[in-house]
Amino acid sequence: MDSFFSLSNTSTAQEIKALLFDQTSNKDAIDSLLSHFPHSEYDLTTVQSFQGQNPETFDVLAIVSDSADSSQHLGQALQLLKPNGQLFLAFSSSSSTEIEKNLKLAGFEGIETRKEDLTLFAKAQKANFSTKSQPLKLKKKKIDLDLLEGEGETVQEDELLTSEDLKKPIQPTCTPTNGEKKKRACKNCTCGLAEQEAAEVAASGAGIKSSCGNCALGDAFRCSSCPYKGLPPFKPGDKVLLNDIDDL
């Protein structure tokens, strides 16, 4: 057999498993190609019949076509061939330069061409790697838990507090200091002075009757010992409101 058409030793089966050709293929080109494989088995079928074929099925494929642009068949042939699989092509009319370019673009290697009468032959080989889609397997990095224990120690919240933070806050006071005049309870008093004043007023006014009769008129008319000293004027018998504390 001509060395150009010899089957590779890497092929598991020394035979053509399938011969692809389109419906416009020239019969002379088909006969010319088959004459170089007198002892090989083959199946004549169309490219369209291989649309649903599983990838990497065949060791040897052949394409016979009248079309100058065979790139539409070459990509499919590459998928159907096993790694190191062989591809043979026969064209009744075409350019060897164009065929070589299309084979390279399709992913083939070891490309050779030869002209016999009116038929152009070409052969190529698929690289020794799979074109099937493979799931991407990412290695999971092992985490050293011993290292994490030293970096992620739990911090006690109490340890973050200083002695100053633990001191009880001092509430503002309304009581007199340094011998100053007695203060009056402020609005929203929280130190207890408001309650103390209310109790004092209630105690002092419980059994006391006005000696001047001017208690309700205001401080300008009240005597120095008036229990209502400091209160706004009011009508006798009215309810008096002092620092949010009711008093009669």
**Residue set of the binding site:** 174, 186, 189, 191, 212, 215, 223, 226
Q: Which residues are annotated as a binding site for [2Fe-2S] cluster?
A: 174, 186, 189, 191
| Helices 96-106 & 71-80 angle (0-180, nearest 10) | 40
DSSP string covering the chain, please? --GGGPPPTT-SSSS--EEEE-TT--HHHHHHHHTT-TT----EE-GGGGTTPPSS-EEEEEEEES-S--HHHHHHHHHHEEEEEEEEEEESS--HHHHHHHHHHHTEEEEEEEEETTEEEEEEEE-SS--S-----PPPPPP-HHHHHHHSPPPPGGGG--TTTTSPPPPP--S--TTPPPPPPPTT--SSHHHHHHHHHHHHHHS---SSS-GGG-TTTS-TT-TTTTPPP--TTPPEEETTEEE-
Q: Binding site for [4Fe-4S] cluster: what residues are annotated? A: 212, 215, 223, 226
